[in-house]
Amino acid sequence: MNARKIIIGRQRERRIIWAAMRASLESGKHKYKRSGKKSRSQWSTFEKLLRVFRWFLKLGGLYQKGIQNAQEVKVERITLSFDDLPEAFDGFTILHLTDLHIDSLPGHEENILNAIEGNHYDTVFLNGDYRRDTSGSFRPIIKPMQRISDALNPPFGKWAVLGNHDTYLMAEYEEEVGISLLVNESAVFEKDGEKIFLTGTDDPFYYFSEQAILALERPLEGFKIAMIHTSELRDFAAKNGYQLYLSGHTHGGQICLPNQKAIITHQFEGNEYTAGMWNYHGMTGYTSRGCGVSGIPIRFNCPPEITFITLKKS
């Protein structure tokens, strides 16, 4: 095997401009959507409601059960067939991890690593939301993220994007942790003379910018995968010939009714984008339930997941 990785669109100046813009957006109390600037104020109301909910769960003796559920990471395996997948990538397996919120549950990195152990994968994609909070220090996540990174060494490397809980400052730790961050950039995977592409954009849920669209419009000839924290940019990806779109963010609802119906999903894209497979104008999409928790560290009827996605040539 002749594995090679190249990054397109990474330039020092471009990163500096992005960091300055992201820093400015992070310092405000708004979210920046495709549709414009919106208030984030409803989050504080939501947190108050969560505190009441937590109190009821503790009273009813369900809180510990919810924490236990959040620690039982389920392995999901999906095989996706594509006509236009290069032969060399037939059987190529992606380990997709998202929404780790690794400081929400102490020691959760071991639950994730135990679920991964013994499985084969060619690359690791990390689809954002590494910390619990949306602001403040991210130092508590460095050690557990380092632990995860040290334990995973696939031939095609580890690739990440930022989510709405993350800060641009995390980009500084990229080399130290050993994970390549894609900020509106594309990675090229080469094997036996053939190529596939991975484009990762900045988070569109809080920090949308035109740079994300320009990254998806970059002319790349061949099989293309988009890794974006939410499904919000699926139309741009489909329009630009992406075959596969991977997202997270929703946690599958995290707390669901017994029929697995999510109560709250923090997205407005439609129920079909909350969890699992979807299709948008011929492009295959997958939304992971994520492997961590935010808000309150519990799950009901919605197990955390790690996902092995195997690409097949049809």
Which chain residues interact with Fe ion by CB under 5 A? 99, 129
Q: Least Å distance between CB 73 and Fe ion?
A: 15
CB of 101 to Fe ion, least distance (A): 6
Q: Where are the alpha helices (DSSP H) in 158-290?
A: 174-177, 210-217, 234-239
Tokens of 10: 């990474």
Is 85 or 148 the residue whose CB approaches Fe ion more closely? 148
Pull the structure tokens for residue 246. Answer: 């991977």
Least distance to Fe ion from the beta carbon of 61, Å?
27
Please, which residue, 132 or 224, has the CB nearer to Fe ion? 132
Find the shortest distance in angstroms from Cβ 289 to Fe ion: 10
Instruction: Name the 3-class secondary structure at 76.
Output: strand
12 vs 17: CA distance, rounded Å: 9
Number of neighbouring beta carbons within 10 Å of residue 82 = 17
Host H or E run for residue 52: helix 42-59
Distance CA 220, CA 198 (A): 10
Q: How, if at all, do strands 36-39 and 30-33 pair?
A: antiparallel
Is the Cβ of residue 98 or residue 186 nearer to Fe ion in the bound state?
98
Per the listing, tokens 């599958």 go with 252
Task: Compute the least distance from the CB of residue 291 to Fe ion, in Å.
Answer: 10
Looking at beta carbons only, is 156 or 300 nearer to Fe ion? 300
297 CB-near residues (< 8 Å, 6+ apart): 66, 67, 70, 104, 105
Structure tokens at 85: 């997948």
At position 92, the amino acid (one-letter code) is F
* C-beta closer to Fe ion: residue 99 or 232: 99
Q: Show the tokens assigned to 103.
A: 């400081």
With respect to Fe ion, which residue has the nearer C-beta, 88 or 228?
228
Per DSSP (E only), the strands in 89-234 are: 93-97, 123-126, 158-160, 180-181, 185-191, 194-200, 223-227
In whole angstroms, the minimum distance from the beta carbon of 249 to Fe ion comes to: 6
Identify the bridge partners of residue 94 per DSSP, sorted by sequence position.
Answer: 123, 309
The residue (of 233 and 238) whose beta carbon lies closer to Fe ion is 233
Minimum gap (Å) between residue 268 Cβ and Fe ion? 16
CB of 206: closest distance to Fe ion in angstroms?
A: 11
Q: Which is nearer to Fe ion, 32 or 223 (CB)?
A: 32
Q: Tell me the backbone φ, ψ of residue 24, rounded to 5 degrees.
A: -65, -45
